[in-house]
Amino acid sequence: MIYKIKAHLGQTLHLNTYILFTIRIVATGFSFLFWALAARLLTAGAVGLASGTISAALLLAGLAQLGFGYALVRHLPSTKKPLKLLNGSFMVAGLFGAALVVIFLLGLKIWSPALLPLRTSREASSVFMLLVMSLVLSLLSHWAFLARRKPAFTLAKQILQMVLALFLLLGLSFFWGDHMAITAAYTMAMILSLGVALFFFLPRVEPGYKFSVTLPARLRSPLTSYALTNHVADQLQRGPDALMALLVINVLGPESGAYFFVAWAIASGLHTLAASASQALLAEGANQPQMMPELAGKSLKIGLLLAVTLVLVAAAVSWPLLAFYGIDYANNARGCLIVLLASILPSTILAIYLSVLRVKDQLHSLLFLTATSMASGLLLAYLLMQGFDLIGAGLGWLLSRLLMVGCVAILWKLQPGRPSLSTHTTLNSIG
């Protein structure tokens, strides 16, 4: 048994899947502990403003990446100049992040009046800028570790950040009695852990690496095209997280919207855990493209194993899990949650196939699938809510996932020689 476990974990695809799974668990645990401590130390108003600030920073940082994370995973293993690629990606995304912050602060009265204190205080504006910039670089460093199949460094960085944030929050709460204690603690922990990643961890993963703030004369257009296309596809994948809840609210009302939001948040979080297999496949496939057929098969097995386990456990405890939010949630959202949990299985298959497309540079298929996935999910949820109310939203989403898996099977068969899972390919060198 021990020998089998060692042999299983000896394969980087398996090991990195579990590490990525653990990273997501740690991130969830950190979020819970950090905000629980903040709620104990400061007022609800301070916690609310800080949570809005950090949420806005996370949104801007995600947009600022411009798909360079995917580009790093796909092209870093084959480029002749990895150091220039890393620093070039950091600088372009960082500068774009700074521009987004300026635009966001200038338009606060329009899109988020509640966060106006960020603009009226130079101190708050500066911290917000630092937070977004450090988040952008931090997220890209995670992609760089994944590109070299060393996500354990991301796990170490996340643990360091978690410990620093909790201690800094305890200390700063004595000096600041408002939202700045929370935001500053989060920002300082992010910057310090990022410093460790850039100056200690990354040189171990990428020998000779030195962080540089110089902008390259140009980024190769194939890489930029790959990054931006993946950025669009990524936003299409994330779209339903916001749009599905809004759709339910507009069709069934705010109360049903609340029930759906909780059910969706639980199912979406579990899907993210199962999708660890698809990210590990992306990194492994980029490093060993000739092994893609075998890697995809292994990734599918481990991804479905994780998905089935998570779905069964969550379904078994669905009543007490929802009752934690209130009996009304358990009574009204359980059916929808069960259906959404079932959708995790086809969603995992789809996520793994999208990683195959990313490795194969089949960007048109990637955009088609992600756009169709979002559109079909929203449309079917809307139609089925007319006759089945809240559970109809879940049924519509599940049906759209099944249709997308069918679409994947058709696309696979239509490809000459089925290149997605059988043709040996090599990565083009990016100089």
Query: What is the rounded distance in angstroms from the CA atom of residue 19 to the CA atom of residue 202?
Result: 18
**pLDDT tens-place string over residues 92-138:** 999 999 999 999 999 988 888 888 888 888 899 999 999 999 999 99
Question: In which band, very low, low, confident or very high, does the pLDDT at 418 lie, cut at 50, 70 and 90?
Answer: low
Instruction: Give percent helix, percent strand, percent coil of the chain, each to the nearest 5.
Output: 85, 0, 15
Each as own residue / partner, the long-range contacts of residues 285-288 (CB below 8 Å, 24 or more positions apart, any chain) are: 285/355, 285/356, 285/359, 286/73, 286/74, 286/75, 286/76, 286/77, 286/78, 286/147, 286/359, 286/427, 287/77, 287/149
With 50 as the cut, is the pLDDT of residue 400 above it?
yes
Q: How many CB atoms lie within 10 A of CB 113?
A: 8
**pLDDT tens-place string over residues 42-89:** 998 899 899 999 999 999 999 999 999 999 999 999 888 899 899 999
With 90 as the cut, is the pLDDT of residue 420 above it?
no
Average pLDDT over residues 335-346: 97
Question: What is the token pair recorded at 402?
Answer: 């099944």
With 90 as the cut, is the pLDDT of residue 293 above it?
no
Q: Left, alpha or beta for 417 (phi > 0: left; psi -120 to 50: alpha)? A: left
With 80 as the cut, is the pLDDT of residue 416 above it?
no
